[in-house]
Amino acid sequence: MGWLSISHGFTAEIMARQGFDALVVDMQHGLTDMNDVWPMLQAISQTETVPVVRVPWNDPATIMKVLDFGAYGVLIPLINTAEDAAKAVAACRYPPIGMRSSGPVRAIHYGGADYVAHANDEIVVMGMVETKEGLENLDAICATPGLDAVYIGPADLSFALGLPPRGDNPDPVHMATCDRIREAAHRAGKKACMHCASASFAAGAVKRGFDLVMLTSDLNSMIAGVRRQLDELKAATP
């Protein structure tokens, strides 16, 4: 899975053509606002890549709107309790399962005329466990009906463990906590997802049993590519 921090349809399209199974449009910490989401989803939908949106908060109105725009997965940050998880699930599911309002303004054109009939079974709901409270309620969160996956945000999880925030955190306590989250998810029949910053760390997460890994973002890839070229130029010239 890849990550989109830049709010532009062209970069979303280019990332979607690189072979990721899914791409996350980041509304929480990226540059993307609601008016940016639908053009990015349009760009992704030209490919086989699954469009996912990380909403900025566990807000039903925002969740429902990105689904109506055509997101096929929603990533909800800062899930701290089973009640938080149930609220997120309800916003993603049509009645009688949930409270999602009917009005898939773009989704029905992207997903097809039978979108509403299949949306409850096809939309993926991922909750981020990344706080002290979330860890305390981990098993209850994982047991939430309709929650498909638990997603680890490593930087906020570092805060929760009294560590400096960073991606690909090798600290033994952090690693053990991630494994604990994975095991709790699997016990509950849910998928476990790891947010990574490098291919080597992502490969290690797969070997440790994580079902889904986020590999890299458009922004980080651009920075890394530019820095590599500049470093090579400096090394090759006096």
Catalytic residues: 29
* DSSP one-letter string for 78-94: ---SHHHHHHHHHHHS-
What's 193's DSSP letter? E
CA distances from 23 to 31, 147, 222, 229, 230 (A): 15, 19, 16, 26, 28
At a CB cut-off of 8 Å and minimum separation 6, what does 73 contact? 22, 24, 50, 51, 52, 53, 123, 124, 125, 126
Tokens of 84: 């938080």
Distance CA 128, CA 152 (A): 6
- Burial of residue 28 (number of CB atoms within 10 Å: 0-12, 13-18, 19+): middle
- Cβ atoms within 10 A of the Cβ of 38, count? 19
**Per this entry, what is the length of the chain?**
238
